[in-house]
Each structure stands twice: as structure tokens, then as C-alpha cells.
């Protein structure tokens, strides 16, 4: 508890609001490193005038990582189905925790924290809307939005007041069952959900004015990230935009080899990345304009980017 209290003093330069927030941080941060990183990556710390932005940046001296992107169609389908199986199981066992991995969202606590879970989406959407505004995009002129990797509809619900049509898409049938229940409970008539049952089915999703996806693609192997990212750009209607987050460099030692992965991996929630140049190649191929590339803190390690792009 005392370490958490001093974390507030040293990093946020203030006293904590109350003992409850100190207790929550102390329980969540199981090591000094995690406590430090949690506070350093917080919006409050990053908004400080003298905050060292280099803490969130790469130096340029990082080595290349061996990441296999090109695979056969059969391998790509197998990778996708492995991810789908993992997330279906998580939706049946730890649905809310699988979206926001805080202990407060585990099954034995979610009855008391479910409202907090859905309220958290409001802040995320507010940030996204400010991002659009900063890049000269008037969100009021965007009528439809796709929440890709919608999970339990946490962001779909928060998007509902701002768009005429919200389309939530997810690979997990178990998550979508709970998402439909949550949206119905809240009486949000402009939200609909679709299950993505195959990787090439992205190309059959409707075109929308905005594609939005955060903390989603990172849980797929690199060949699937690249394929989904490229396909999602194709679902943006002319004059529309996309705001999509992808890890583009993970800590030293990360690599991906499809043969090894198919032999050993795909058994639990995972973190993956694609090189940033692969994302740029997909954007060029889609004929889209890059407006902004944000260094974000969604992964908590390595480099994660939010790509803000527009279709002419």
C-alpha cells in the first residue's frame, strides 16, 4: 500500500484521491515494475508538461524481428480458427476479463463491476472522437461505424449515441451472445452484431463510414493481423475513415514462424505484432491517406500504433 501511495507522489506528483484507489492499484500491480508502468502510461502522467515522451518511444537501434507474414491460404485459415476457438472458450469462462484483463472483471466480481466495465468504453470513444477532430474529420457526418472485435459490446454501446448505425463484429459466438444481451438491456436499437466465422468473410461485411478497432488485432498471429487489417481498410466507404490499433514492435526476442506456431501455439490469449512497414503497405494498397500514426499504450510493452487513415 505504501509503495502505491508513493507511486502517486513520485509519478503523478499528487496525493491519491482516497485509500480505495491506493488499495486498487496495490492489488492490480503485483510488482514494482508493473506499478511504475501503470502510472507512467496513464493519461494523467502523459499530460504533464515535462513528461518524458521518450519513455513511450523506440530508440531506432532495435534489431529487426523475424516475423513470417506470408503463409498459405490453408495455414491462414488454421491460424484464424485457432484464435476463434480460444476466444470462444474465453467468452464461456472469463468473458469480461478477456476484454479488460483486470481482476475486478473476473467472473466472481463482475456482478458488482459490470457497470464500470461498460462505462470504460465511454472514455475510449471520447478519445477516438477527439482523434478524428484533430485530423479534420467531422464525426457528425459519419453515419455508420464498425466496431471490429466488439467482444461484449463495450465500445459498441458507447458508439451508439454518436452514429446512426453501429455494427459490432467478433469471431466469438460466446462473446456475441452476451453482447446482444447487454445491448438489449440498455435499449440501444441502432446496434447490431455479426459473427465473423471465416477470415475471408471480412470482405463480405458492409462498407461503413468509420472502421474502429483497438486491443483486437494484437491477439492474432501476424499473418492474420495483416490480412484482417487490409480487409478492414476495404470496408471503409469513399470519404470515410479508419482508426485501427496494431502492435508494430514487441520486446526483444519476439518472432513468429508459422510451422513452429502451428505445432506449439494458439492455446491461449496471445500478443502479436506486425512490422510497421507492413501496415503502411496495406494502407497504400487500399489507396488510403495516412493522417496520423499515434504511439499508444494499449499493449503495455514494445510499440503499439493507432493508424488514422482516410479514403478519398
pLDDT digits 0-9 by tens, 234-291? 999 999 999 999 999 998 789 999 999 999 888 899 999 999 999 999 999 999 999 9
The backbone torsions φ and ψ at residue 305, rounded to the nearest 5 degrees and listed phi first, read: -125, 140
- For residues 297 and 44, give the distance between their C-alpha atoms in angstroms, rounded to a whole number: 13
- What pLDDT band is residue 12 in, cutting at 50, 70 and 90? confident
Residues contacting 53, CB < 8 A, separation 6+? 46
More confident residue, 50 or 23: 23
More confident residue, 178 or 38: 178
pLDDT digits 0-9 by tens, 190-218? 999 999 999 999 999 999 999 999 999 99
pLDDT-above-90 percentage for the chain: 74
Candidates 154, 160, 162; CA nearest to 138 is: 162
Arithmetic mean of pLDDT over the chain:
92
Residues contacting 91, CB < 8 A, separation 6+? 98, 172, 173, 174, 175, 177, 178
Q: Cβ of 82: how many Cβ atoms within 10 Å?
A: 19
Kind plus residue range of the DSSP H or E element containing 230:
helix 222-233
**Domain 73-310 annotated CATH 3.90.600.10:** no
> Does position 58 have pLDDT exceeding 90, yes or no?
no
**pLDDT, position 13:** 85
In order of 106, 200, 214, 267, the CA distances from 124 in angstroms are 21, 28, 9, 29
Instruction: Report whether 296 contacts 245 (CB < 8 A).
Output: yes
- What pLDDT band is residue 54 in, cutting at 50, 70 and 90? very low
Q: Helix 19-28 vs helix 32-40: angle between axes, to the nearest 10 degrees? A: 120
> Does position 46 have pLDDT exceeding 90, yes or no?
no
> Does position 33 have pLDDT exceeding 70, yes or no?
no
The backbone torsions φ and ψ at residue 196, rounded to the nearest 5 degrees and listed phi first, read: -90, 105
The conformational region for residue 300 under phi > 0 = left, psi -120 to 50 = alpha, else beta, is left
The boundaries of every CATH 3.40.50.150 domain in the chain are 73-310
Length of the chain: 312
- For residues 218 and 298, give the distance between their C-alpha atoms in angstroms, rounded to a whole number: 10
Amino acid at each position: 500500500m505504501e509503495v502505491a501511495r508513493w507511486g502517486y507522489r513520485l509519478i503523478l506528483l499528487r496525493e491519491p484521491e482516497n485509500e480505495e484507489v491506493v488499495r486498487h492499484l496495490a492489488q492490480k500491480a503485483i510488482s514494482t515494475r508493473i506499478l511504475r508502468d501503470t502510472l507512467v502510461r496513464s493519461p494523467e502522467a502523459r499530460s504533464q508538461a515535462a513528461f518524458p515522451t521518450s519513455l513511450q518511444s523506440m530508440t531506432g537501434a532495435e534489431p529487426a524481428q523475424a516475423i513470417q507474414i506470408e503463409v498459405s491460404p490453408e495455414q491462414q485459415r488454421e491460424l484464424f480458427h485457432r484464435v476463434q476457438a480460444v476466444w470462444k472458450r474465453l467468452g464461456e469462462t472469463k468473458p469480461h476479463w478477456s476484454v479488460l484483463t483486470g481482476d475486478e472483471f473476473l467472473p466472481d466480481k463482475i456482478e458488482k463491476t459490470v457497470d464500470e466495465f461498460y462505462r470504460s468504453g465511454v472514455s475510449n470513444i471520447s478519445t477516438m472522437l477527439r482523434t478524428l477532430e484533430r485530423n479534420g474529420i467531422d464525426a457528425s457526418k459519419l453515419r455508420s461505424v464498425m466496431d471490429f472485435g466488439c467482444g461484449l459490446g463495450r465500445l459498441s454501446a458507447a458508439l451508439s449515441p454518436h452514429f446512426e448505425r453501429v455494427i459490432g463484429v467478433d469471431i466469438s459466438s460466446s462473446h456475441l451472445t452476451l453482447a446482444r444481451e447487454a445491448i438489449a438491456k440498455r435499449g440501444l436499437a441502432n446496434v447490431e452484431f455479426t459473427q465473423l466465422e471465416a477470415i475471408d468473410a471480412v470482405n463480405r461485411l458492409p462498407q461503413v463510414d468509420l472502421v474502429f478497432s483497438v486491443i483486437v488485432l494484437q491477439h492474432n498471429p501476424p499473418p492474420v493481423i495483416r490480412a484482417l487489417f487490409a480487409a478492414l481498410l476495404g470496408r471503409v466507404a469513399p470519404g470515410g475513415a479508419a482508426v485501427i490499433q496494431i502492435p508494430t514492435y514487441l520486446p526483444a526476442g519476439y518472432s513468429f514462424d508459422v510451422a513452429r506456431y502451428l505445432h506449439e501455439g494458439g492455446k491461449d490469449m496471445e500478443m502479436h505484432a506486425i512490422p510497421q512497414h507492413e501496415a503502411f503497405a496495406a494502407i497504400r494498397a487500399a489507396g488510403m491517406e495516412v493522417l496520423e500514426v499515434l504511439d499508444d499504450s494499449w499493449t503495455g510493452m514494445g510499440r503499439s500504433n493507432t493508424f488514422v487513415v482516410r479514403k478519398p
